[in-house]
Structure 1
Amino acid sequence: MTPGKAGIMATPRRRGVFLPAGPALNERPSSSVVRPSGCPGLLRVVQALDGGICRIKLDGGSILADQADAVATVAERFADGVIEATNRANLQIRGIGPQQDALIAPLLAAGLGPRNPAGDDVRNLMLSPSAGIDRQMLFDTRPLAEQILVTLQTHERFHELSAKFAVQLDGGEALAMLEHHHDLWLSALAGDGKPWLAFGLAGVPLDKPAGRVPLAQGHALVVAVLELFLDLARPDQNRMRHLLADIPADELLARLARRVPLQPCPDWQRGASIDGLHIGVHPQYDDRVYVGAVAPLGRLDAAMLRGVAQLAREKGDGSLRFTPWQSLLLPNVRREYADEVLARLEQLGFLASSDQPLAQLIACTGSSGCAKALADTKADARRLAERLQGRGQALEFHLSGCPRSCAAAHIAPATLLAVAPGRYDLYFRDATLPGFGALQAHNLTIEALDHWLDAHPRSPLDA
């Protein structure tokens, strides 16, 4: 599917139809060099201050109870027991000692590895946590997701993609993370009596789409986009946004239309997701419910994971789903068990209500585990939660130990950026400004932030 040397130029569209293009710029040669990555994977343990990190990529965020038990066991035996739920619905184990191979082998035996060892890095397909069970979904995205994941791992050329290159597949669910930027996003669309996929490059499903294809062409579209990216991107261009900085979007889409027939997508508006559906009890499309709870600051220990796995066997379907909100869902629970499941999750140490301040906070690893962090963000977040609890408020704050913002893949309503141990700059999200948004205050302690909130009762956080 690699084009010849004669490329095509950007071509205008009339009445929303993609027109044939004439000759123009030459295609740039594809690089056969695998893009390096410092990101942890299942087969690549990366060192941090608190030991090694192993990241386990979960298909659609899902994991079976027996697989969760395997994660809990190796975290206890070969690490310090800390397990993290990531903001892309994966799991990672921290504090790994020298027996890395001994930790990895049971995870592979449990079926948590890639189909091809070289395909581990590229298993970056994010679904809604409620895919297939959401009452608002237009269709079940899981069959297409499985097809895409197999291709990502077995198509040798895709192993050249960066470990950060990511795809989102959205079925129109009410529970969906629509703020994380992806290199390619696909979102369910109903029209002309059949299912479609709107799609966009380097953005989110809330953006204006680049076009649409029938659902049956979704897999072909993903393959074409990824191959086109590899044809055109230099080795130092890891993400779609880097390529779009060099090649105008219209030109890229014209090239793409040579590989997959595209149609325009006028009047697009992705239905809004509903806040809070990742926590608590919520009805599915059938007569059952799913139950969600948050791992405090994204962390759980082996006992918590083992306990929730047993709960999934007893009251659910024997599976768990992790979410981009660093929470988990137990799907397919009978309604009469819902209250019991929620209570048992709380007993295990999960947060089961959005009214709990700690459930609204995001914090990176912090200086206890990361050499780049300037503050102990986890400890400071707990202090902040205690103060917010005393105020009777549950406000959305993101605490970041450095500007890299590892814990949040989108800009939070309010960010505390560490500038020194225990001290932070406060930012409020502003769509007109880059980075974390508008600077509100400098060099605040957690106690000083409490006073700042008293002095600014009409801040956007209270809106």
Structure 2
Amino acid sequence: MTEPLSARPSATPIRPSACPGLLRIVPALDGGICRIKLPGGVLSADQALAVADAAERFAGGVIEATNRGNLQIRGIGTNHDGLIASLLDAGLGPSNPASDDVRNLMLSPTAGLDPQQLLDVRPLAGQILHSLEHHPRFHELSPKFALSLDGGEGLAMLEHPHDLWLSAVQVDGRTLLGFGLAGCSATDSPVAAVVPETAHALVVAVLETFLDLARPDQARMRDLLKEMPVTRFIEHVAARLPQQLVVDQKVTDWRRAPIRPFAHIGTYSQRTAGVVAVGAGVPLGRLRPSMFRDAARLATAFGDSQLCMTPWQSLMLRNVPAENSAPVLDGLGQAGLLVDAAQSLSKIVACTGSAACAKGLADTKADGLRLAALLQENGISRAVHLSGCTRSCAAAHVMPVTLLAGSPGRYDLYFRHADMSGFGDLHARDLTIEAVGALLTADSRSNTHD
């Protein structure tokens, strides 16, 4: 029987926050925003249909794929309780309402299924999420406080910075979990490692230590570590653990192997022979309800009746028999999703922009479509990020090319540079989209690196 709204968690914020959640809808120019946090990015086909229905019934029909493998519904009208109720009925809410903000744990979309993995991290992920939901003190964490768990998969987002990241490491024939603070495994080495059996205790110890030592104004790990040496923080963590940390040069010198670029689009081999994962990009992070419904039907007909949202603003259907990969790709393409990494639009990221965000200085979504068309005409495929302001909401890490809006239709052009902070090297100012297209085309033809 449907639970009365009076018995449900309220849409009132658990604590003040500018971040949307499922239980807290925040306003924007185009209406309210609701963020649905998905365990490991996974939801069932039935849940996907429920999201599509809710987006049409209670909002403007816009579903967004986020850069941390979650979903957002935009343009929500006045019936917030109705929207929330429909999503809770579909099982998309937290088991503990107070934990809605803090379930920020990123996994590979092929965790447990990947042929390159050193460790199936799904059981550990379940333990961590349970603690985040049911350990009352962890509800004090900022909604932006985030964790990453990497089992060594060949498909994993390595560049997003996290407050705590863990990555599977092989040392002298043993599989350990190396970990780092306020960084990412793409550029950082672990500060230490633990055996997998101690990893859950490590996460709990890190979070409790952070909450013990951080002032209220230090919302993120990086804020605390500006004033406290990492070695001192780790001493506090080690004192809480049942086993010693592994601090070995083979661990602290270790670097994560890179992944194949854009492997999230197309067919990806799984650990089990004869089955594959099939991925498709979401154009500029925006899903129409019809797209989501078509993907859900394909997942039911050909896969395991689940969809997995990825940190690349794409989705994957997993456990698809290899002989069915072609019709699945074709079906996703017909639905309007991007199934070929050579498509220029598959490599362009754009924030909400001025059409729906008060801080946006340009209509980045419309400009992104124009830029993609220009590059496609010239046979150019470049990873480009369009940001309507300096906050860089659409990209959690610096991309090879960034366009920073200065006014409607005008952008400053940056190229990522390892030795420069921010977006990188400022190459040109106040460019039109046509000028950007011409410059990127010329640059691509004059060199072979991105």
TM (normalized to structure 2)? 0.93
| Distance 1:455-1:328 versus aligned 2 partners, 3 A rule | closer
The DSSP-based 3-state class of the residue aligned with 1:120 is helix
Partner of 1:349: 336
1:455, CA displacement in angstroms? 5.0
Q: Could you tell me whether the CA contact under 8 Å between 1:418 and 1:425 is conserved in 2?
A: yes
Taking the aligned partners of 1:123 and 1:285, their CA distance within structure 2 comes to: 27
5+ long unaligned stretches in structure 1: 1-33
1:31-430 aligned within 5 A: 36-206=16-186, 207-260=188-241, 261-267=244-250, 268-287=254-273, 288-430=275-417
Q: Deviation per CA, 1:174-223: give whole Å up to 9, x if none.
A: 10111000000000122344431000000011311110000000100000
Taking the aligned partners of 1:219 and 1:187, their CA distance within structure 2 comes to: 13
Q: Could you tell me whether the CA contact under 8 Å between 2:380 and 2:444 is conserved in 1?
A: no
Which amino acid in 2 is paired with 1:188? A
Q: Deviation per CA, 1:16-49: give whole Å up to 9, x if none.
A: xxxxxxxxxxxxxxxxxx8742000000001000
Partner of 1:9: none
Taking the aligned partners of 1:399 and 1:442, their CA distance within structure 2 comes to: 14
Partner of 1:435: 422
Q: Deviation per CA, 1:391-424: give whole Å up to 9, x if none.
A: 1011110000000000000000000000000000
Taking the aligned partners of 1:132 and 1:58, their CA distance within structure 2 comes to: 17
Taking the aligned partners of 1:348 and 1:457, their CA distance within structure 2 comes to: 30
Q: Could you tell me whether the CA contact under 8 Å between 2:278 and 2:316 is conserved in 1?
A: yes
Partner of 2:8: none
5+ long unaligned stretches in structure 2: 1-13
The DSSP-based 3-state class of the residue aligned with 1:121 is helix
The DSSP-based 3-state class of the residue aligned with 2:102 is coil
The DSSP-based 3-state class of the residue aligned with 2:165 is strand
1:433, CA displacement in angstroms? 1.1
The DSSP-based 3-state class of the residue aligned with 2:249 is coil
Q: Could you tell me whether the CA contact under 8 Å between 2:205 and 2:240 is conserved in 1?
A: yes
| Distance 1:376-1:223 versus aligned 2 partners, 3 A rule | same
The DSSP-based 3-state class of the residue aligned with 2:34 is strand
Taking the aligned partners of 1:266 and 1:209, their CA distance within structure 2 comes to: 10
| Distance 1:35-1:228 versus aligned 2 partners, 3 A rule | farther
| Distance 1:460-1:428 versus aligned 2 partners, 3 A rule | farther
Taking the aligned partners of 2:56 and 2:20, their CA distance within structure 1 comes to: 19
1:452, CA displacement in angstroms? 2.3
Taking the aligned partners of 2:42 and 2:284, their CA distance within structure 1 comes to: 20
Partner of 1:14: none
The DSSP-based 3-state class of the residue aligned with 2:279 is strand
1:283, CA displacement in angstroms? 1.1
Q: Deviation per CA, 1:346-374: give whole Å up to 9, x if none.
A: 01000000000000000000001000000
1:447-462 aligned within 5 A: 447-453=434-440, 455-457=442-444, 462=449
1:265, CA displacement in angstroms? 4.0
The alignment covers a number of residue pairs equal to 430
Taking the aligned partners of 1:239 and 1:458, their CA distance within structure 2 comes to: 41
Q: Deviation per CA, 1:376-398: give whole Å up to 9, x if none.
A: 00000000001001110111100
The DSSP-based 3-state class of the residue aligned with 1:93 is strand
Which amino acid in 1 is paired with 2:71? L
| Distance 1:316-1:454 versus aligned 2 partners, 3 A rule | closer
Q: Could you tell me whether the CA contact under 8 Å between 1:60 and 1:125 is conserved in 2?
A: yes
Taking the aligned partners of 1:253 and 1:282, their CA distance within structure 2 comes to: 38
1:461, CA displacement in angstroms? 7.2
Q: Could you tell me whether the CA contact under 8 Å between 2:375 and 2:441 is conserved in 1?
A: no
Q: Deviation per CA, 1:240-285: give whole Å up to 9, x if none.
A: 0000001111111111111122111423121221112100012101
Which amino acid in 2 is paired with 1:255? H
Q: Could you tell me whether the CA contact under 8 Å between 2:378 and 2:441 is conserved in 1?
A: no
Q: Could you tell me whether the CA contact under 8 Å between 2:105 and 2:146 is conserved in 1?
A: yes
1:462, CA displacement in angstroms? 4.6
Q: Deviation per CA, 1:315-344: give whole Å up to 9, x if none.
A: 000001010100000000001100000000
Q: Single out whichever of 264-273 and 60-69 deviates more from structure 2.
A: 264-273
Q: Could you tell me whether the CA contact under 8 Å between 2:380 and 2:441 is conserved in 1?
A: no
